[in-house]
Structures are given as structure tokens and as C-alpha cells.
Amino acid sequence: MKQAQIDQLCIDTLRMLSIDAVQKANSGHPGTPLDAAPVAYCLWQRFLRYDPADPDWPNRDRFVLSAGHACALLYSLLHVCGVKAKGPSYSPGDRLAVTLDDLKTFRQAGSRCTGHPEYGWTSGVETTTGPLGQGAATSVGMAIAERWLAATYNRPGYDLFSHNVYALCSDGDMMEGITNEAASLAGHLKLSNLCWIYDDNHITIEGPTGLTFTEDAAARFAAYGWNVARVSDADNLARLDDALQAFIDTHDRPTLIIIQSHIGQGAPHKHDTNKAHGEPLGAEEVRLTKEFYGWDPDADFKVPDGVVAHFCAHVGKRGEIAHAAWKKLFAAYRAQYPDLAEQVDQMQEREVPAGWDAALPTFAADAKGLATRDSSGQILNAIAAHMPWLLGGAADLSPSTKTDLEFDFAGDFQAPEGEQAVSYRGRNFHFGLREHAMCAIGSGMSLSRLRPFVSSFLIFTDYCRAALRLSSMMELPLISIWTHDSISLGEDGPTHQPIEQIASFRAMPGMVVLRPADANEVVEAWRVIMRMKDRPVCLLLTRQAVPTFDRSIYASAEGVSRGAYVMADAVGNKPDVLLLATGSEVALCVTAYEELKADGIKARVVSMPSWELFENQPREYRDIVLPPAITARVAVEEASGFGWERYTGFDGAVLAMDSFGLSAPSKVVAKHFGFEPALVVAAAKAQIAERRSAT
């Protein structure tokens, strides 16, 4: 068979598998797989360095389907390329990541071919995508990770890390704000290992893009500092080849390839093209499409002879050779640089190095204390100095979130200038005012096995929610550090004072929220964080100083690891009322506890820095901390009270916020909203009185 014929046969196989999957499911998006099949084929067959036998090897090229609605195309690729199943989501045994049966059960329960790509469920899916823009922004994090890994671990003659990152984007991706945040930063950082392929097919769900999107995307990306190439015909493999080669040959900036296509490229459609984008073609049009491509209209899920072998001979063989060479190189590297090789191994396994906690500080009792953002900054630096791949930054707020790494060898991650190639080795990242992109980029770095942290004020997580939700869905140990965690931040007022944000993160499946009460609880919170391998963490910290408790009087902060613990108790461990709090409000409860004690009232203070960790404890432990028989309970938190009834019961008292905040000094704000010891004491006494009157 001639080269042009086998090329076309493979492209059409991808197309037909995709429309068959969508049609059988009676759900999905067939249009983009039809028009983008040629570029996917060209990229995978001629450029992508990827070993189907081991889809996780560290120096593979990454392919991100940011246009996640086109996932039928990705699943078809994974099938015909023979990508092997790998990971705990699969039963033991030798099988393909995506079988023909998986394609036949597209979008059905249990299928590897989910409605949008899901990382960790289907081998070969590099990141979960679907919400437009997320994949593109995450790919920037992957490109950043490669640059950092190369600058940090490559040595003369040992290019351990040299991979490229490709993302297939849609018109919708180009419109989303997160894409533009990420593109701006990628251009600034001159990430020449990053290539976005923009499938410019002029259609979205509502209709032609001319309804809403008439800007010059090429000019915009050129202004961002990107190299921009155009391909006017999506079916022209020679032009696609030239554009991708131009990316390979560009060494000073990222590349955007704009490919002009049409939904259902070349196929005869009786209906509007937006139908092909957003819903199945229908049986009649599937037949017409197959006939147009010279396909047997009665053949469903057909993979013609020679197609799999052709993919195996190109992407498969190229990846096998590259992977084998890399393993040989890494073995030699290990012999010459054993310490560095061990770090690479530990990263891949998400382990922490020996002695990572050797320099953790302890904090002496101090009634004045310090802000938990300040103690966290000290702890972060103590850990990062002993863990080279712990790195990150803030959305233009690191001086305020205290997330600067200040030891001499930390450095800033920036594009190299002149001979300063070490710039990509820096561990302080400056994300600019790009909170949403920052979090997606952090996920991309985590997917590349770094241990990134991102940071801003808690209120600005409203800009980050989609990216943080996906980090939780992917079970990534992304560290998010959010400061200014309550109305007690003070004068910036209600626009900056978080209310509902804590409750929203507690509602997010998989997310761990840690709101420590003092400096020593922050230490223990960081111990929890560093042991996390498969859950993201939101660390919530104060702007204002909080007391450092005397742990010879109150319980050890080690209880943080269990989510909640008895910090102060009544004589005989038989309290009449429970005072529950997180973060800075624990000090308020401790003061109230001492006043109640002076009045002869038996109270217990429970510090509850993490509801999620507490819920993971055995029932026996939870009943010891919160005895079911003691129903007189008061919860205190300078945030929405939503959810506290889980611990107080519906008859308990919850001192919380039911409005937005106030612009005033923090002490004035706290007094205005009733966060004072006297009110906690009064609530506790009222709870006890109610229980006694009921009996």
C-alpha cells in the first residue's frame, strides 16, 4: 500500500471509530474527531515520543486533549496505537488501555472511555479535561516542570529530561480566560517545549464562532511572545508536518499552530454543523459519512488490516527505541550521580527524602504569638531546603502569603537571559495575577511528579475553583496555601474577607482542609501535608497574630494528624459542654474555657483543624473526642456556619457568619460580629441550661 493510502486509511479509521463510539452511546461530540483526525495522526505517527508499552515513562512527550469533548478521538488513538493499561485502576493482567469493547461502551458506566478524559482511570490520559481551558493551562505546568527538571537534573552527556508538551485546543479553549492567563505566562517564560494546536473550526455549541469570537488569535498570541504558524487545510499532512517541525526547530518561545478546519471535515452533512459538534450524527448521516470516505456503511468499529501495524511501526517503534535509550542513559546516570538519581526515583514514587523534617522548628509558648502565615513561611523554608522538588509561588502575593523560599540556593524560575541557563532551576515561581491559571499550572507540575505549592488570599480561591476541583478529581497532592483566612484580616473589608469559601472546600470530594490554630499546629499540619500522596490540601492561615499555646498546659499539637483532638478538658474528662473551633477561633474558645473554669463550669475545647481527617478516624476515636452523650455544644468559626450542625447537632450553638464582613481594624470587626469570649461563655452557659431544663 502506498504511503498516502495507508496515511488516509489510518486517519479515516480514527474518524470512523470516533463516530461509531458516539453514535452507539447516542451521546457525545463527533465533529472535532472528524476534522482533527489528520493532525492527531500526524503528531502521533511522526513526532510524538511516546512508548505505548509504558505510557508513564518520565521523559515521554505529553499530549493533552484540552478539547476534552473530542475524547472519542483520543480513545481511538489509544486503541490503535496499542497503549497498554497501567495503574491501580486496572485489574492485574496484560490488556490494552482502551479495548474495542471499551470504545463500544463509550460514556457508559465502567467504561474506560468516559464522557471526558479522566486521569488515573484510563492509561494514556495525561490529565482530566472537559472544562475548556483547563487542559491548555495544565499543559503549561507540564512544560514548566520539564524545564525545571532539565535545568536541575540534566548533566553533560545526560539529557534525562528533554520532552515536549502538546495540547489540542478548540475555539472554546481560546475564549476561556484561563487559557489566556496561561498563554501570557508561557510566553513570558519562553517555554519553547510547549506547542498548542488550535483546531480553528469556527463552531461552538450555540453556532458559528462569529457570534462571539472575531478577534485575531494569531496577533494575540504573537503579542504574548509566541511563535505562530498557520495551516489552511487540516487535511494537508505535508503542511501539518512542516508546522510541527517548525515547533521542534523553535528554541526561544512556545508555538501556536492554527489549523483551519470545518466540523466533520469533508463529510456531507444534511444538518447544521453545530449538530455534528454537540450531538451524535444520527444513523442516516453516519452511513453517508462512511460512504463519503469509502467506508463500508454497515461496518461498525472496524479497524482495517494494517492500521495497528502501521501505528506500531512508527509511534510504537520510535517510542520503544527512545524509552530503551533513556533507561540505558538513566542507569549510567545513576552510577555517576547516585544521589540525584535517588531524588528522581523519590519524585516518581511521591516519596519524601530522608531528613526532610530535620530542621522543623518548634515554637515556644507566647501569648502574643504570631500569624500562622508567618510560622508557615518558616516551616515551608525548613522543609524546602531539604526537599529539592518542593517548589512554587503565589499569584503576586508571596510577600503577604509568606511563601517566598529565602535560602540562598532557592532562586527564581524565569526564562534564561543570555548565559543564565540556571534561571529555569529556580524554585520561586511568580505567577502574576493569574490565580486560575496558577492552580491549573500547579496541577500540571504535580502530574510531572514535582511537589508544587500555590498561594494567594483565601477569598481569591473563587477565581481558582475549577482548577482546584480537577486537582481533587485527579487525586493530586497539590499544596494550596491560602492566607487572610477570615474576617479578622480587617481593613480590606468585605470584598476580601472570606465567608463561604471554607465550607465550599469542605464540600469538595477528596479535598483536605487544614486550618491550624497556632504555630505548633502549623508544624503538624505540614507533617500531614508532606505525607499526602493522593489528595490535595488547602492550608488556611491567618494574617493576624494568634497566641502560641503552652503545650505543657494544653494538649500536644500532634493531634492535628487526626483532624480533631481534645486540647483542653474538664477535670476527670467529664465536661458539661464542648467548645469546638478551628484556626484563630481556638484561642477564643480557650479564653472562654478558662473563664468557664473559673466559674466552676466544666468545659472541653476541641481543636478541629481538619474535618476530613477527623471523619477518616475510627468511630471509637471520634466518640472519645465528641462524646455522643454530651449534646451541649458550641462551635465558633469566623466563616459561614454551613455544615457545623454535623458536630453540634441541630440544638447546638454555632457562632459564625451569616453576612458579609466589615471594613475596619480586625479587633473592631471581631467585636462587631460577636467573636468575643463573653459571647462564647454565654452560649456555653445557655447550652448547659437548655439541657438541664430538658431533663
The vertex-671 CA angle with 667 and 677, nearest 5°, equals: 100
Alpha carbon distance 289, 166 (integer Å): 29
Q: What's the first-to-final CA gap in the chain, in angstroms?
A: 90
DSSP 155: B
Cell of 611: 474535618
Catalytic residue among 146, 285, 435, 521: 435
- Asked if residue 580 lies in contact with residue 606, where contact means CB atoms within 8 angstroms, the answer is yes
Letter string b/e over residues 96-113, b meaning 16 or more CB atoms within 10 A of that residue's CB: bbbbeebbbbbbeeebbb
- Residue 55 neighbours by CB under 8 Å, 6+ apart: 83, 84, 86, 97, 123, 124
CB burial class (10 A; 0-12, 13-18, 19+) of residue 676? middle
- Asked if residue 107 lies in contact with residue 115, where contact means CB atoms within 8 angstroms, the answer is yes
Listed in sequence order, the DSSP H helices in 532-665 are 585-598, 611-615, 619-625, 645-648
Alpha carbon distance 221, 195 (integer Å): 12
Q: How many other CB atoms are there within 10 angstroms of residue 89's CB atom?
A: 12
Active-site residue flag, 342: no
- Asked if residue 417 lies in contact with residue 141, where contact means CB atoms within 8 angstroms, the answer is no
**Could you tell me which residues are beta bridge partners of residue 548?**
366
Q: Which amino acid is at 431?
A: F
Residue 152, CB-side half-sphere exposure with 13 Å CA sphere: 26
Q: Tell which residue, 472, 430, 481, 473, has the closest CA to residue 454.
A: 481
Please report the beta strands in 50-96, taking only residues with DSSP state E, as ranges in sequence order: 62-65
Alpha carbon distance 287, 162 (integer Å): 44
Helix (H, G, I), strand (E, B) or coil at 513: strand
- Name the strands in the sheet holding 633-640, side by side, starting at the edge strand that comes first in the sequence: 565-568, 603-607, 577-581, 633-640, 653-657
Cα-based distances in Å from 380 to 105, 383, 402, 411: 47, 5, 9, 15
Alpha carbon distance 469, 482 (integer Å): 16
Alpha carbon distance 410, 496 (integer Å): 31
Helix (H, G, I), strand (E, B) or coil at 476: coil
DSSP 27: -
Q: Which residue has the cell 462524646?
A: 627
Q: Give me Rg for the CA atoms of the chain.
A: 28
Alpha carbon distance 320, 161 (integer Å): 16
Alpha carbon distance 11, 288 (integer Å): 17
Helix (H, G, I), strand (E, B) or coil at 539: strand
- Residue 157 neighbours by CB under 8 Å, 6+ apart: none
Helix (H, G, I), strand (E, B) or coil at 504: helix
Helix (H, G, I), strand (E, B) or coil at 528: helix
- Asked if residue 72 lies in contact with residue 122, where contact means CB atoms within 8 angstroms, the answer is no
The vertex-77 CA angle with 72 and 83, nearest 5°, equals: 120
Helix (H, G, I), strand (E, B) or coil at 250: coil
Residues that are catalytic: 435
